[in-house]
Amino acid sequence: MRILVLGGSVFLSRAVAQEALERGHEVTCASRGRSGTVPEGAEHVAWDRSTRVVPPALASQRWDVVVDVARTPSWVRRSVTTWPEAHHVFVSTVNVYSDDATPGQTPSRGALRPAQHADVDPTTDPDAYGAMKVACEEIVLAGAARSLVLRPGLLIGPGDPSGRFTYWPTRLAEAGDGEPVLAGGSPRDVVQVLDARDLATWVVTAAERRLTGAYDAVGPTTTAGELLAEVAAGVGVTPRLRWVASDRLEAAGVQPWSGPDSLPLWLPRPAYDGMLAHDATPSLAAGLVVRPVADSARDTLAWLRATPGAPTTGLTREAEAVVLAAG
C-alpha cells in the first residue's frame, strides 16, 4: 500500500511509519521536519500544515491510506478534502468523552463533548483539546470514503514526548530496593496504558484490513499498584512504595497527571475513575495486541539512558521528600 503519514518524526506517528516500512509498504511522511527524523526508507516531504497550502508533491498523489494524529480541525479538514478517496485512520483521544468519572465506557456507550470546529490554542484553553478532536473525528467520518477513528488513553514507551510514564522507570530504577518512593492515591485505583508501538502495529494492521468505525485504543485495565509493580519488574528493582492519599497530595500542592510539580499518572478520585478505565474488549477483538508493561518499562528506561535530554516530568526528589516526610 501507499501510506501517507501526516507526521512521522515523533513517537506514535514515527512508530506507525516504521511499522509500515517493516511490512513492505511505501511510506511518505509529511511534517515540518523540526521535531526529529523520519524512519530510514520513508520519503519525507516538508509541510507546515499551518500554511494552509498542500505541497504539490503531496496534493498530486493518490494514497491508499492517510494516517493523521492532528488536533487542529482546519488541518484535518484540508487533508480529508485533498484525499477524500483514501482510507483515513485518525488518531483521536479518550479526551473526546464528556464523562471522565464512569468506568467501562466504549464508543457505543460514551457521550462526546460538544465539537469545537474552530482552531483554538489548547495552551490557553485546555478544554478545547478534546472538543477539537471531536470536530476532527466528525470531519473524517463525514468526508472520507473510508475511515477509522482510534481513541488512545495514556500512551507509553520509548520516545514518549510527554514525560509522564518516563518518570516511573527512572524514579524506581534510581530508588533501587531500599529507598521509599512516593505513590499517589490508592494501589487499588484502576488505570490502563498502551505502548505506542502496539498502537502503531494495530494502526497498520487495521489499515491493511480496511477496518472502519471508532475504537478506544486502550490496554486492559489494571490497578495502580499492579502497574507500578510491573514497571519495577521491568527495571529490575523491588521498591518500597509509600502510598499517600489524594487529599493529602492536594493539600501539599502536588499536581495530578503531568507537569513539573506533578506526581505522574496520579488522578483525583472519583472524578477521574473512568478516564483510564475504558472497556478494551472491542479493541482487543478487533486485532489490538498488547505487550506487558514490564517490557515497556525496560525499553523506556533503555531509551532514556541512551538519549540525553529525553523528556521527563514530575516532582523533584526534594519535593517528593517533603511530602514523604509529612507522613
**Each residue of 27-53: pLDDT tens digit?**
999 999 888 899 999 999 999 999 989
What pLDDT sits at residue 126? 80
Question: How do 240-244 and 180-184 pair as beta strands?
Answer: parallel
Q: Per-residue pLDDT for 327 more than 80?
A: no
Coil, helix or strand at residue 16? helix
Using one digit for the tens of pLDDT, what is the confidence trace for 310-319?
A: 999 999 999 9
Least confident segment among 86-95, 103-112, 119-128:
119-128
Confidence band for 17, pLDDT divided at 50, 70 and 90: very high
Confidence band for 179, pLDDT divided at 50, 70 and 90: confident
**Nearest in space to 289 (alpha carbons), one of 166, 223, 206, 225:** 206
Using one digit for the tens of pLDDT, what is the confidence trace for 218-272?
A: 999 999 999 999 999 999 999 999 999 999 999 999 999 999 999 999 999 999 9
The correct answer on CATH 3.40.50.300 for the domain covering 2-155+195-217 is no
Average confidence (pLDDT) over 184-193: 97
Least confident segment among 118-122, 150-154, 282-286, 317-321:
118-122
Average confidence (pLDDT) over 117-146: 94
**CATH topology assigned to domain 156-193+221-277+291-325:** UDP-galactose 4-epimerase; domain 1 (3.90.25)
* 146 and 136 Cβ atoms separated by less than 8 Å: no
**Burial of residue 136 (number of CB atoms within 10 Å: 0-12, 13-18, 19+):** buried
Boundaries of CATH 3.40.50.720 in the chain?
Answer: 2-155+195-217
Phi, psi (rounded to 5 degrees) for 231: -60, -45
User: How far is 136 from 129, CA to CA, in rounded Å?
Assistant: 11
Using one digit for the tens of pLDDT, what is the confidence trace for 277-310?
A: 999 999 999 999 999 999 999 999 999 999 988 9
What pLDDT sits at residue 34? 84
| Amino acid, res. 170 | T
Confidence band for 198, pLDDT divided at 50, 70 and 90: very high
Boundaries of CATH 3.90.25 in the chain?
Answer: 156-193+221-277+291-325
**Burial of residue 296 (number of CB atoms within 10 Å: 0-12, 13-18, 19+):** buried
Average pLDDT, the chain: 96
Phi, psi (rounded to 5 degrees) for 255: -90, 145
